[in-house]
Amino acid sequence: MEGRREVRSRDDPRKNLDRPDRISFRVTRYMQEQGYRIIPVNPLIEEALGEKSYPDLKSVPEPIDMVNIFRRSELVPPVVDQAIEIGVKYIWMQDGVINPDSAAKAEAAGIPVIMDD
Residue 62 belongs to a domain with what CATH number? 3.40.50.720
How many CB atoms neighbour CB 68 within 10 A? 22
Mean pLDDT of 1-20: 54
Mean pLDDT of 55-71: 94
Q: What whole-number distance in Å separates Cα of residue 86 and Cα of residue 79?
A: 11
What's the pLDDT score for residue 88? 97
Q: Tell which wins on pLDDT, 33 or 49.
A: 33
What's the pLDDT score for residue 10? 53
pTM of the model: 0.81
Kindly tell me if the per-residue pLDDT of 1 is higher than 50: no
Kindly tell me if the per-residue pLDDT of 34 is higher than 70: yes
Q: What whole-number distance in Å separates Cα of residue 36 and Cα of residue 24?
A: 15
Total domain count, the chain = 1
Query: For the chain, what is the mean pLDDT?
Result: 86
What pLDDT digit, counting tens, does each position of 70-113 carry? 889 999 999 999 999 999 999 999 889 999 999 999 999 999 99
Q: What whole-number distance in Å separates Cα of residue 98 and Cα of residue 72?
A: 8
Q: Could you tell me the residue range of the domain that residue 87 belongs to?
A: 5-115
